[in-house]
Structure 1
Amino acid sequence: MAVAATVSSREEEKTLQELTIPILLADRVINSAQEAESFKQDCSDLAKQVERLSQLLRSTVRLVSTTPSIYDRPLRLIASDISKNLDRALTLVRKCKHSGVLRHVFSIISTADFRKVSNLLESSIGDMKWLLSIFESDGGTYLSLPPIACNDPILAWVWSHISTIQMGQPKDRVDAANELASLARDSDRNKKMIVKEGGILPCLKLLKEGPSPEAQIAAANALFNIATDQERVRLIVVCLGVPIIVGVLGDSPMKVQIVVANLVASMAELDPYAQEEFMRETVNRPLVSLLSIDLDLDVAKNQSAKTSIHSLVQMNKELSYNNIRYNNGHSSDGNSHHRKEREMETPEVRLKLKVSCALALWKLSKGSVSNSRKITETKGLLCLAKIIEHEKGELQLNCLMTVSEIVAVAESNDDLRRAAFKTNWPPAKAVLNQLLRVIQEESDPKLQIPAIRSIGCLARTFPARETRIIAPLVAQLGNRNVDVATEVAISLGKFVSPDNFNCSQHSKAIIEFDGVQPLMKLIRNGDRARMHGLVLLCYLALNSGNSKALEQVRALNALEGAARPVIAQHPELRDLLAKAIHHLTLYQAGAHPHRQSFAS
């Protein structure tokens, strides 16, 4: 608070300093006009204009001195413009101090010069009147235009809305934030202007201190519409917006939490740095806690006796949320100020909140080891599994995509994979069961593809005896949807890749589950299906080259026929195809060495 007060004081001093310059210039113009020896009437008229302008400037000084946290962006720009106009006026009236021959020697002055300067001063007076009308109206939104913004009315509206958000009455602040959100939604230029004119900090302040849920929703929507690229997201982070956002998410009415969760999702998707900042503020805790409302996550009592005591103790420890506190001092669930309001919310609002929280977790986990680890270290995995099992539509899809992103990260991070996806760990088992169920029972490719992809990412986790994983995948190799079948080929390729310690056993399982025949059909499809299908076929040939199933479908002929066109488009497959063809020639009758000559 002391630091904020110091910063505010410095800003006020700077603003007063910038107002001092045109006030001093105004005094000098008036004095010089009184000393004029030619064009006395014109100089007198200018002096009257400058006197009016000086009064307005002094009124503004008094206002700035007595108004805390005044919005000074338009004030500074207008003060700078007034200084330029007064400087021109001063130059003009000084030329009028000489008369007769001297006047003609030093300069030639005409009535037109006075008219130009007079018009400039009149514009400055109009700017100051507009500015005072904004400041003195308790921040009410005005859509009238100051002369300085006559060529760009959006600028005046942006100034007016930001000023109202920062200084206005509660209802006016809500309206202004909604107007600012609308302007930001209209164009990228408007977004840049809002940022340039200092609109982020007032919106964050309104979000944090919002006198009503409507005010917080309006502020969050404005920030959401402004932060549509990485640069503007980063500015919110730099303005220390992340702790504010997480704090509001943790303890607000559900309707506010929905728009704030959407803001988290958008920021996390656009900027990896924002992802990590949200992780540091443990945003996963309120998100998972809100996602798990109405869910029974106490699974320890249902576990097999084979589960170790240590595992049960650890799991119960991770599932316990009663003692978790956020950095902002709010409890994670039960002690929230808005608990009663949440309990009375409609099922539609509760569902919408869960959808938004699941979306935020999806975007936070994408490509982020730290966020994925945070989610798996809590009740996140179990919560996601339960929702995938019992929900439908957008909520189910968002949770499935979150799992897909977490396992994609775990695929390339051994520590995360071993910690979060141990085969005997109850939350991991629950997730796996749901992935298999989706693959087998769902018919929507939007659900099947992330589930299939997730199983592939975990390929190195499964022991050779875990054939229940292979069978559902093989069954989908013949799926009528080519994208689904191709994703199966990619996932099975990870099971039988040389990088997988159990590749030979998995290859045998694929063949035993009659996977060769549908695989041969797949490689007759488009380029992507053919490429991934051939990779899987090559791995099967290398691991089980003596298989009768491969011989019966003439796998060798298929590889030879596809080799040249595939290598032309995917030269990285040259060595793999050559090795597979060479390996099959060792087992299949009638093979000749020239068959792999394409690889030379």
Structure 2
Amino acid sequence: MDDEKTLQEELCLPILLADRVLKSAHEAESSKLECADLAHQVDRLSQMLRSAVRIAAASPSLYERPVRRIAADVAKNLDRALTLVRKCKHSGVLRQVFSITTAADFRKVSSLLESSIGDMKWLLSVFESDGANLSLPPIASNDPILSWVWSYIATIQMGQLRDRVEAASSLVSLARDNDRNKKIIVDEGGVTPLLKLLKEGSSAEAQIAAANALFHIATDQERVRTVIELNGIPMIVSVLGDSPMRVQAAVVRLVAEMAELDPIAQVDFARENVTRPLVSLLAMDTVLDEPKPQPGKPSIHSLVINKELVGKGANSSTRLGSFSSNHYHSDGSSRGGHYRKDREREVESPEVKLNLKVGCAEALWKLCRACLLNSRKVTETKGLICLAKIVHKEVGELQLNCLMTVMEIAAVAESNPELRRSAFKPNSPAAKAVVDQLMRVIQEEGNPDLQIPAIKAIGSLARTFAARETRIVGPLVARLGNVNVDVATEAAIALGKFVCLENFNRVEHSKTIIEFNGVPSLMRLLKATDRTNELAHLHCLELLCYLALHVGNSKALEQAQVLSTLEGELVLLWHKIQI
């Protein structure tokens, strides 16, 4: 109910109480000197309150939170003063007995009124200086952070541009300290002015400061939801699509953070089509080959592109052209502001461009994790081809983030047949490019951080490969003998998806694993994980059981004494159950 009142209504109550105190003080018949002193303090308060009303009426963008808090506290103190001075209006002996006042009562109320005067003085100074006041009001004497937050937020909302940038940076410093400060910033209404500062585009520095502040504040699901409820996602996406690269780099970091923390944020970002500018930025300076037409029935990939071209008319050239490394408009027409942006990109340092690409890849990774909508949107553009090319030519964090994105899309496709068939159709150029790079990483890279997501992605796509796809199964079998147990375990998990009951080609894949001498490597891995890694041990057992089930008459299984090994594992399991 308090939030529904206007600011003028909030200030009317203490003004009304002040008038009543003054009237009662003038009518006092006892303790007249003390009542006169209180009346002097109340009169100062009344003047300050009326000044606040005038400022509120003249400033539609006024930061209201401290006004409401201080007005409520002033009203409470004035009410105590009114109760005290009314006791001084005697009318009879009996009333005098029950209305005894002491000097201590007056001192206590006077102290409260003096605190209210200090609060109002601080409040007016904040408004007069557009928020730039870091002094400590009495109301925040037990919590200095509160007054600093008030001052910074007031500056962001009402101050000059340079002061607003400094205030946003100061909120970053406070938010970095602890979660309590972040909660205070959110509770005191700091998100809305930060979003406004981000959206305004007054300067790149202001937008970066706002994006960094939001990034350090929205570090848990509850605070991310606050940003969502304040309609922050459309603002963030609009800034991402049309801002200097330094601003975009800060914004993509915020997108990744929000997407990682909240599935609702993932969906809302998908509704705003955030994947399109992200893929566009990721693909800058990268030449994306157009898919070659296939004889016979066109692929889903080409159908999607043709639908974009035919269904969207002139705008489609802008959208698809945005993935070009040179122009946002593929036909060269109506370049306008995009030409200016291209010129700005040409003068940006390689470090800024790389930082932006790394952030875009991370954002796509977090957006696609367990999210069908975002995964589909990436695959419906040139996203897969872009990711494949970057995995091929880049190194370091950018390459890793792109691999993680592919891994997440493949994981979603594993549980969604429609996406698996449309995006990873074997004769699709995009799917072929992705699989080729995944296999190259598995075979040629020596870094487990890169090999593991590549192996996981191939495992998720196991049901898309033909029965005798030795090009895929062979390198996975080779990884069973990897010196890194985690890599070997992921290979076992992936191979398990090739031979599981849900895979139509499970028998043929099982034979291929045995042909590539996978059983000895699997047995060694089984022994290596016996006591060190129970989960990895179970995955090895699962793969071994599938092989025994599908090709139980194999000499390789007999020579490796697989049956006796499985019997021994069964006995151990029985003993564990009994214990």
TM-score range, shorter chain: over 0.9
Match of 1:162 in 2: 153
**1:30 Cα deviation from its structure 2 partner:** 0.7
**1:478 Cα deviation from its structure 2 partner:** 0.4
Are residue 532 (structure 1) and residue 532 (structure 2) matched? no
Are residue 65 (structure 1) and residue 70 (structure 2) matched? no
**1:348 Cα deviation from its structure 2 partner:** 0.7
Match of 1:577 in 2: none
> Deviation digits for residues 339-368 of structure 1, max 9, x if unmatched?
322221011100000000000000000000
Matches within 5 A, 1:330-369: 335-336=337-338, 338-369=341-372
Are residue 193 (structure 1) and residue 196 (structure 2) matched? no
Aligned partner of residue 6 in structure 2, secondary structure:
helix
Aligned partner of residue 379 in structure 2, secondary structure:
helix
Q: Is the 8 A contact 1:471 1:513 kept in 2?
A: yes
Aligned partner of residue 338 in structure 1, secondary structure:
helix
Question: Per the alignment, do residues 391 and 319 of structure 1 end up closer, same or farther by CA in structure 2, a change over 3 Å counting?
Answer: farther
Matches within 5 A, 1:364-383: 364-383=367-386
Are residue 131 (structure 1) and residue 123 (structure 2) matched? yes
Question: Per the alignment, do residues 12 and 156 of structure 1 end up closer, same or farther by CA in structure 2, a change over 3 Å counting?
Answer: same
Are residue 252 (structure 1) and residue 243 (structure 2) matched? yes
Question: Per the alignment, do residues 310 and 483 of structure 1 end up closer, same or farther by CA in structure 2, a change over 3 Å counting?
Answer: closer
1:434 to 404, 413, 437: 437
Amino acid at match of 2:60: P
Q: Is the 8 A contact 1:438 1:451 kept in 2?
A: yes
Are residue 560 (structure 1) and residue 530 (structure 2) matched? no
**1:308 Cα deviation from its structure 2 partner:** 5.7
Match of 1:398 in 2: 401
CA distance in 2, matches of 1:98, 1:305: 102
CA distance in 1, matches of 2:226, 2:158: 22
Match of 2:324 in 1: none
> Deviation digits for residues 200-243 of structure 1, max 9, x if unmatched?
11111111014111111111111111111111101110100000
Task: Report the identity percentage.
Answer: 64
Are residue 105 (structure 1) and residue 97 (structure 2) matched? yes
What's the TM-score, normalizing by structure 2?
0.92
2:171 to 174, 180, 184: 180
CA distance in 1, matches of 2:166, 2:299: 56
2:35 to 39, 43, 50: 43
Match of 2:75 in 1: 83
CA distance in 2, matches of 1:20, 1:241: 33
Matches within 5 A, 1:248-327: 248-300=239-291, 303=292, 313-314=302-303, 317=306, 322-324=317-319
How many residues were matched structurally? 555
> Deviation digits for residues 490-511 of structure 1, max 9, x if unmatched?
1001111121110111011111
1:541 to 535, 544, 548: 548
Question: Per the alignment, do residues 209 and 285 of structure 1 end up closer, same or farther by CA in structure 2, a change over 3 Å counting?
Answer: same
Amino acid at match of 1:25: L
Are residue 479 (structure 1) and residue 482 (structure 2) matched? yes
CA distance in 2, matches of 1:444, 1:325: 35
Question: Per the alignment, do residues 312 and 152 of structure 1 end up closer, same or farther by CA in structure 2, a change over 3 Å counting?
Answer: closer
CA distance in 1, matches of 2:94, 2:356: 80
Match of 2:313 in 1: none
**1:319 Cα deviation from its structure 2 partner:** 9.1
CA distance in 2, matches of 1:253, 1:308: 42
CA distance in 2, matches of 1:123, 1:513: 83
> Deviation digits for residues 137-178 of structure 1, max 9, x if unmatched?
1232x2210000000000101111111111111001001111
**1:469 Cα deviation from its structure 2 partner:** 0.7
Amino acid at match of 2:245: M
CA distance in 1, matches of 2:299, 2:72: 70
Match of 1:502 in 2: 505
Match of 2:557 in 1: 550
Q: Is the 8 A contact 2:426 2:432 kept in 1?
A: yes
Question: Per the alignment, do residues 312 and 428 of structure 1 end up closer, same or farther by CA in structure 2, a change over 3 Å counting?
Answer: closer
Match of 2:332 in 1: none
What's the TM-score, normalizing by structure 1?
0.89
Aligned partner of residue 96 in structure 1, secondary structure:
coil
Q: Is the 8 A contact 1:250 1:332 kept in 2?
A: no
CA distance in 1, matches of 2:458, 2:451: 11
**1:532 Cα deviation from its structure 2 partner:** 1.1
Query: Which has the higher mean CA deviation after the structures are superposed, 12-21 or 25-34?
Result: 12-21
**1:115 Cα deviation from its structure 2 partner:** 0.9
CA distance in 1, matches of 2:431, 2:28: 90
**1:529 Cα deviation from its structure 2 partner:** 2.7
Amino acid at match of 1:186: D
CA distance in 2, matches of 1:106, 1:445: 84
**1:565 Cα deviation from its structure 2 partner:** 2.5
CA distance in 1, matches of 2:571, 2:14: 79
CA distance in 1, matches of 2:383, 2:121: 57
> Deviation digits for residues 365-409 of structure 1, max 9, x if unmatched?
000011100110011101000000000000000000000000001
Query: Which has the higher mean CA deviation after the structures are superposed, 260-269 or 560-569?
Result: 560-569
Question: Per the alignment, do residues 474 and 46 of structure 1 end up closer, same or farther by CA in structure 2, a change over 3 Å counting?
Answer: same
Match of 1:409 in 2: 412
CA distance in 2, matches of 1:332, 1:23: 60
Q: Is the 8 A contact 1:531 1:566 kept in 2?
A: no
**1:313 Cα deviation from its structure 2 partner:** 4.5
CA distance in 2, matches of 1:297, 1:227: 35
Q: Is the 8 A contact 2:410 2:461 kept in 1?
A: yes
Aligned partner of residue 264 in structure 2, secondary structure:
helix
Question: Per the alignment, do residues 431 and 508 of structure 1 end up closer, same or farther by CA in structure 2, a change over 3 Å counting?
Answer: same
Question: Per the alignment, do residues 238 and 172 of structure 1 end up closer, same or farther by CA in structure 2, a change over 3 Å counting?
Answer: same
Matches within 5 A, 1:415-430: 415-430=418-433
Amino acid at match of 2:360: C
In the alignment, structure 2 segments of 5+ residues that lack a partner are 310-315, 322-326, 330-334
Match of 1:522 in 2: 525
Amino acid at match of 2:269: F
Question: Per the alignment, do residues 27 and 317 of structure 1 end up closer, same or farther by CA in structure 2, a change over 3 Å counting?
Answer: same
Matches within 5 A, 1:457-472: 457-472=460-475
> Deviation digits for residues 438-477 of structure 1, max 9, x if unmatched?
0000011110011011111001101113221111111111
Match of 2:217 in 1: 226
Amino acid at match of 2:256: A
2:205 to 209, 214, 224: 214
Q: Is the 8 A contact 2:300 2:422 kept in 1?
A: no
Amino acid at match of 1:341: E
Aligned partner of residue 319 in structure 2, secondary structure:
coil
CA distance in 2, matches of 1:307, 1:471: 31
Question: Per the alignment, do residues 319 and 453 of structure 1 end up closer, same or farther by CA in structure 2, a change over 3 Å counting?
Answer: farther
Amino acid at match of 1:87: D
Q: Is the 8 A contact 2:24 2:85 kept in 1?
A: yes
CA distance in 1, matches of 2:476, 2:360: 30
Amino acid at match of 2:402: C
**1:318 Cα deviation from its structure 2 partner:** 7.9
CA distance in 1, matches of 2:294, 2:172: 56
Amino acid at match of 1:239: L
1:96 to 48, 63, 88: 88
Aligned partner of residue 374 in structure 2, secondary structure:
helix
Aligned partner of residue 90 in structure 2, secondary structure:
coil
Question: Per the alignment, do residues 279 and 304 of structure 1 end up closer, same or farther by CA in structure 2, a change over 3 Å counting?
Answer: closer
CA distance in 2, matches of 1:104, 1:256: 71
Q: Is the 8 A contact 1:164 1:176 kept in 2?
A: yes
Question: Per the alignment, do residues 143 and 282 of structure 1 end up closer, same or farther by CA in structure 2, a change over 3 Å counting?
Answer: same
Amino acid at match of 1:314: L
Q: Is the 8 A contact 2:301 2:380 kept in 1?
A: no
Aligned partner of residue 536 in structure 2, secondary structure:
helix
> Deviation digits for residues 542-591 of structure 1, max 9, x if unmatched?
1111111111111111111222324666x8xxxxxxxxxxxxxxxxxxxx
